Amino acid sequence: MEDLPRAPERRYLNRELSSLDFNARILTLAEDDSLPLLERAKFLAIFAGNLDEFYMVRVGGLKRQAAAKISSRSADGLTALAQLTAVSAKAAPLVERQSRIFVEDLLPRLGRAGIQVVRWKELDENHRHDMDKLFRERMFPVVTPLAVDPGHPFPYISNLSLNLAVLVRDPGVDRHHFARVKVPPLLPRFVSVSGEELFVPLEDIIAANLERLFPGMEIVEHHAFRVTRNADLEVNDDGAEDLLQALEDELRRRRFSPAVRLEIESSMPPRILELLKRELEVEDNDVHKLPAPLDVAGLWELYSLDRPDLKDEPFQPVTHPDLPSAEEPASDIFEILRERDILIHHPYQSFNTSFQRFIEQASADSNVLAIKQTLYRTSGESPIVEALTEAAKAGKQVVVLVEIKARFDEEANINWARTLEQAGCHVVYGLVGLKTHGKLCLVVQRDGDHLRRYVHVGTGNYNTKTARLYEDLALLTSDPDVGADVSDLFNYLTGYSRQTGYRNLIVAPHDMRGRIVEMIERETKLAESGEPTHISIKVNSLVDGRIIDALYGASGAGVKVDLFVRGICAARPGVKGLSENISVRSILGRYLEHSRIFYFLNRGDEDVYMGSADAMPRNLDRRVEILVKVCGAEQKQRIKSLLHLALADNTFTWVMDGDGEWTRLSPGDDDPFSYQQHLMRLAHDPAHV
């Protein structure tokens, strides 16, 4: 293996640029004429939201490193400053492309379909009258114009808020005054005019009524702008006596974090832009000039319209064939699990008739003595939290590990933690210095003279809403070894256990990287001995250098390595002398591919693991992650078939080359095959091939 390239810049791709590449693939779906119009609008909204988060977290972190003059480099050899330069160069054309799709393509097409988004000047007098009335009654009392002059310092601009930069003057006087007006988020981004499918941007209504906000002044001009702030939250919980209080303090500090991006209307003149740049302390590279209207994430509101003709045909998840459907009389799910394991595949199979029924039955079963569960993210009106609180009120021991450091869900999870505590649940906030990202639920039931344990291990969050949008796997089992493992793990999470070894689980940060590398190297040695070998890994992100290097070594020994990486990938496939036998695919589409699978042929005694962990240093070193070994022959075969079907997709799959360039596959002369659409058909017709 001496001939392998060793220089970091030759072995790895940059994770930040790879993240932007993923968002570029989302943008391609927004351009795809084969998709229904509102689905395209949805993908454009997803792109905009992803870019917001990328700047808040990744760019925010890089700026913090650059400001601190940290000399460390990325795995591909770039300093923080060099990465910021590369990010700016790659993001700028994506933003231009987003604007072009929105203004030149989607808005005209939506208009032709009867959903018109127009500017104020395009409204007739009756519509303007209605919007003026709306402003007077619902907006004027809460809109506050803020002057900027020697007696009024430049106001704080909150993260992701939409604002108007306004120039006014006294009539007949040539001196201009600057003011900022925040567009309040109390109304939709695009306001329906007179209850019709005719919409006007919210800031247009305010702009048309600026004279009411500045009576006696002449409005010279106004331009919209939007600020993104660093939200790379860092809670030093090593010495925090009260983690809840420490996190709440940090959330308050986040509001005043530095600006990392300024979005402006392309019509904004240089003098106003220079003022904003100076006051917000942003550089030219941080400025995105866009045609109005800004903030296309607001397209989610249009997507919610009742226009089934412009959306994908609705899909109703089915109940797993081994479980009773919602219409059937309630049956004992624990009795079913005593007979066999059940592998659930969301969103094709129902979350409500699998895990939700599991937890609700556990809550109501008088023989259930204890329920222990992790919660990373959950839905607003959560039936899961409701079942846990009911169980606690019924006298069961309920232990819930609520990860209050889950990014952007911190406040919601703090509220859930307090709700659960008030109901009598034992609430744990996780381990010092670690996030608990694993998805686990343990139910302990009295069965005569002994106890039985039932376990749910998933790849996705306990969230009834995202379970219909995210592709995930979940294992329901009464396997004694898995039950014992999960019991031991909860003792580690809630107490002072120092156990790090398990039977059927692999747990980060203890030994997950080591075990994955060990299984990769086992395939490598088998290949060197002439044995058949194969590795297939499906993750959201692949960044960890040790795992990538182990895969390079396997490739060099002749192991065929199929990687399915939805988002960020730092590995370089198909490079001579490095990775000839590695392929990298990314599947996008109607559902967010979210399951994590690790498959190793192992001489035919296949090792199959599924769980919560991506192959990233943060997951392997700074989180509690769980992979569970899938032992049942039927369940292993099901996962193998999913990986095989994923290889066959030729419509929503992108393939990456060794330079990090992604190419979307097309059917060509073959029949079109969509992995997700095939699974939807298969769910309702198991005989479908």
In whole angstroms, give the CA distance from residue 659 to residue 10.
9
State the Cα angle at 431 between 428 and 435, rounded to 5°. 100
Does a cis peptide bond (omega within 30 degrees of 0) precede residue 293? Answer: yes
Using CA atoms of 417, 423, 425, 427 in order, give the dihedral in degrees to the nearest 10: 20
CA distance 604 to 474: 24
Of 227, 279, 233, residue with least CA distance to 252: 233
Nearest 5°: phi and psi at 678?
-60, -45
CA angle 194/219/210 to nearest 5° reads: 35
In terms of Cα–Cα distance, which of 271, 181, 177 is closest to 225? 181
* DSSP string for residues in 564-611: EESS-B-B-TT-TTT-TTEEEEEE-SSSEE--EEEEE-GGGS-EEEEE
Upstream peptide bond of 8 is cis (omega within 30 degrees of 0): no
Nearest alpha carbon to residue 613 among 593, 602, 597: 597
Residues constituting the chain: 689
Q: Which of 103, 106, 104, 95 is nearest to 39 (CA)?
A: 106
CA distances from 558 to 1, 439, 521, 555 (A): 12, 35, 12, 5
CA distance 563 to 553: 15
- Quote the CA–CA distance of 318 and 315 in Å, as a whole number: 9
Backbone phi, psi, residue 218, to 5°: -95, 130
DSSP 314: P
Question: Contact, 353 vs 320, CB < 8 A?
Answer: yes
Spatial separation of the C-alpha atoms in residues 543 and 426, rounded to whole Å: 36
User: Which listed residue (222, 345, 437, 456) is catalytic?
Assistant: 437
Closest to 568 (Cα-Cα) out of 9, 13, 53, 50? 13
**437 included as an active-site residue:** yes
Nearest to 94 by CA among 41, 24, 15, 17: 24
Question: Residue 113 and residue 444: Cα distance in Å, rounded?
Answer: 55
Q: Which residues contact 413 (CB under 8 A, 6 or more apart)?
A: 375, 377, 402, 403, 404, 406
Q: Are 372 and 441 a contacting pair, CB within 8 Å? A: yes
Burial class (CB within 10 angstroms; exposed 0-12, middle 13-18, buried 19+) of 281 = exposed
Give the DSSP letter of residue 244: H
Q: Which positions are annotated as active-site residues?
A: 437
